[in-house]
Amino acid sequence: MQTGAGNSAEPREVAAAAIVDAGRLLLAQRVSPPHLAGLWELPGGKIEAGETPADGLARELREELGVETVVGARIGSDVPLAGAMVLRAYVVELKSGTPEALEHAAVRWVDAEQLAGADLVPNDEVWLPELTALLESFE
């Protein structure tokens, strides 16, 4: 059966970045689709066929935020998505540039308390414990 990523049985990956700098996590506000517009997510996107998740996520962050990054370890659990896709989060280090909302409505840096009160896209709420622990590890 044909899948979005080719003829493999593997689900297509959506990679999302947990970028922490100065003890704060970067959130990005979606502009679409309508049911997610206005909610906050970890920046990232779909990995293309032939790309490693690390290369694909770094490309997405270059396109979306205008920054250079180094993609690190997986964090949190896999989240199954509709359309034979799977959402995965990675710890990502900012190497250069200041994140700008090139494809989002806005970006903002949050501490653990602000993260707890943020209107996240529903799928990302499952990562709250790991994201909070990540932020607290930088305190």
User: Where along the sequence are the contacts to ligand 8DG (CB under 6 A)?
Assistant: 14, 16, 41-42, 44-46, 60, 81, 87, 121, 123-124
Residue 118 beta carbon to ligand 8DG: minimum distance, rounded to whole angstroms: 12
Nearer Cβ to ligand 8DG (23/122):
122
- Nearest-CB residue for ligand 8DG: 45
How do strand 24-29 and strand 85-96 relate by DSSP bridges? unpaired
Helix (H) / strand (E) containing 132: helix 128-137
DSSP states along 24-50: EEEEEE---STTTTT-EE-SEEEPPTT
CB of 113 to ligand 8DG, least distance (A): 20
| Cβ neighbours for 53, distance < 8 A, ≥ 6 positions apart | 13, 15, 47, 71, 88, 90
78/136 with CB nearer ligand 8DG = 78
Task: Tell the smallest beta-carbon distance from residue 76 to ligand 8DG (Å).
Answer: 10
Measured over all CA atoms, what is the biggest interatomic distance in the chain, rounded to whole angstroms? 48
Nearer to ligand 8DG, 60 or 91 (CB): 60
Residue closer to ligand 8DG, measured from CB, 44 or 99: 44
